């Protein structure tokens, strides 16, 4: 019996072991799948990534592009440069006069042209004062002269008689007695009386001539103060005249620019040529010409400026040669340009292209910016004359640069992208002359 029970127990134990072995065999593929799947996925991902890296598009390397600033340039040229001194001035009369009579009387005649703006030639009659009294005086004094001449002739006859009597007397007398015997004092007295009478007659004739008031020079009437019937005295102002042969323009310029102006020392020396502009009256671009004739001795009290006198011939364009020229008006405020002495070898640069007072921007052959100080010989209103610091042919930059730095890359409109790409410097830009 015992052996049978042991046998049944052993059989019962073998059954679970078989069941276990039988179940373990059934789940083994699932375990293997769970273990190998992540490895397979990782391996496939690695292979795919490697394949993508090997077969993907390759990035092409590009050359480094230089950021060059676009500028405009022009070539620098050296030649004789004319200095121009600009200033403002006032037109004034070179010759003017207030006419006053030298004799008194009633005005009986006026020239129809004796009105403001009327023109007169030298010696032309402006007005007449009543000459009646002066004619009478001339006639009266003429008779005095005739009487004095007659008395002198009678005395000369008496002297002949006295001389004969003295010779017949034959006595020795002193010089004083001889002079009395020959009537020398009487002769001298009558001669003096005749000269006085003649002088009075001449003065009367001069006064008579002065009843006609004539123009002392070629003139234009500025004002008239009398009319017909006015009683004129020697202190009466008859009219105001201004000479028409020339006007003056008094101009103020800085003292530092005087050395460029030719100021004549004599009348034969030519002064600097001057162009005079009055845009308000004549329009833009129209001018008259004049010459510097003198330098005033003092400076202006306000601006401490030097004052030049410029002479303009025939300012009212009365001569045939000047009929196409504009007329100048007294007291006009005008602009002048004085041609100063020339600079033999220099270049003229506009004020806006002078940087920081005395420097310029140059584009060198390598296409980079060079900031150079220059020597300025003359500073004009619009241009500055430079004598050194830049060379003929240099490319002057005539456009603005926002933040200029010495050595920065530049280009012009004619430079292509290929010329400024890479590390090679661009070629020399094409020069454009300023029109």
* Domain parsing of the chain, residue ranges: 1-60, 70-81+343-420, 86-93+244-339, 131-210
pTM flag (> 0.85): no
Which pLDDT score, from 0 to 100, does residue 52 have? 75
Q: Would strands 306-313 and 246-253 be described as parallel, antiparallel, or unpaired?
A: antiparallel
Q: Which of 305, 270, 267 has its CA nearest to residue 86?
A: 305
Token pair in block for residue 52: 């993508």
The helix or strand, by DSSP H or E, that contains position 341, with its residue range, turns out to be none
- The low-confidence residues of the chain, meaning pLDDT below 50, are 1-15, 18-22, 417-435
Fold of 86-93+244-339: Elongation Factor Tu (Ef-tu); domain 3 (2.40.30)
The kind and range of the H/E element at 43 are helix 2-55
Classify 387 in phi/psi space as left (phi over 0), alpha (psi -120 to 50) or beta: alpha
Tell me, what's the pLDDT at 361? Answer: 94
Two structure tokens written together for 242 = 């201004």
Residue 392, classed as helix, strand or coil, is coil
C-alpha to C-alpha distance for 373 and 117, rounded to whole angstroms: 57
pLDDT at 6: 46
3-state secondary structure of 94: coil
Find the helix or strand (DSSP H, E) in which 74 lies. Answer: strand 73-75
pLDDT attached to residue 56 = 65
pLDDT at 55: 77
Return the CATH class of domain 70-81+343-420: mainly beta
Answer for the pair 134, 179: CB distance below 8 angstroms, yes or no. Answer: no
Residue 421 has what pLDDT?
Answer: 37
Same fold flag, 70-81+343-420 and 86-93+244-339? no
Burial 294-330 (b: 16+ CB within 10 A, else e): eeeeeeeeeeebbbbbbbbbbbbbeeeeeeebbebee
Q: Beta 79-81 vs 343-350: how paired, if at all?
A: antiparallel
Q: Quick one: which H or E segment has residue 278? A: none
Q: What pLDDT is attached to residue 92?
A: 96
């Amino acid at each position: 019996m015992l052996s049978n029970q042991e046998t049944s127990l052993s059989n019962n134990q073998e059954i679970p072991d078989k069941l276990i072995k039988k179940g373990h065999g059934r789940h083994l593929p699932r375990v293997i799948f769970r273990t190998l799947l992540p490895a397979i996925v990782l391996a496939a991902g690695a292979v795919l990534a490697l394949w993508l890296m090997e077969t993907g598009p390759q990035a092409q390397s590009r050359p480094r592009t230089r950021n060059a600033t676009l500028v405009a340039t022009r070539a620098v040229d050296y030649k004789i440069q004319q200095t121009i001194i600009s200033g403002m001035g006032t037109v004034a009369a070179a010759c003017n006069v207030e006419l006053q009579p030298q004799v008194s009387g009633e005005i009986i005649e006026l020239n129809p042209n004796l009105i403001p703006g009327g023109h007169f030639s030298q010696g032309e009659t402006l007005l007449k004062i009543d000459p009646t009294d002066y004619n009478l005086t001339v006639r009266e004094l003429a008779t005095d002269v005739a009487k004095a001449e007659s008395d002198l002739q009678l005395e000369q006859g008496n002297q002949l008689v006295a001389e004969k009597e003295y010779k017949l007397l034959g006595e020795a007398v002193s010089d004083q007695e001889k002079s009395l015997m020959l009537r020398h004092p009487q002769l001298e007295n009558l001669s003096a009386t005749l000269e006085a009478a003649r002088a009075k007659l001449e003065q009367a004739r001069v006064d008579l001539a002065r009843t006609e008031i004539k123009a002392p020079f070629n003139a234009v009437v500025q004002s008239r103060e009398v009319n017909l019937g006015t009683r004129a005295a020697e202190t009466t102002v008859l009219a105001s005249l201004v000479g028409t042969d020339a006007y003056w323009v008094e101009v103020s310029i800085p003292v530092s620019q005087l050395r460029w102006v030719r100021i004549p020392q004599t009348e034969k020396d030519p002064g600097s040529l001057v162009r005079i502009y009055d845009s308000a009256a004549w329009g833009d671009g129209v001018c008259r010409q004049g010459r510097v004739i003198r330098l005033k001795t003092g400076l202006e009290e306000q601006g401490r400026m030097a004052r030049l006198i410029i002479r303009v011939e025939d300012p009212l364009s009365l001569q045939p040669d000047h009929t196409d020229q504009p007329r100048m008006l007294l007291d006009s405020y005008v602009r002048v340009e004085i041609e100063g002495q020339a600079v033999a070898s220099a270049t003229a640069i506009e004020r806006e292209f002078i940087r920081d007072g005395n420097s310029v921007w140059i584009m060198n052959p390598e296409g980079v910016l060079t900031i150079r100080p220059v020597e300025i010989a003359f500073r004009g209103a619009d241009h500055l004359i430079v004598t050194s610091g830049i060379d003929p042919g240099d490319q002057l930059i005539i456009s603005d640069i926002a933040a200029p730095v010495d050595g920065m890359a530049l280009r012009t409109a004619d430079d292509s992208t290929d010329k400024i790409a890479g590390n090679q410097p661009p070629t020399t830009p094409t020069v454009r002359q300023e029109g």
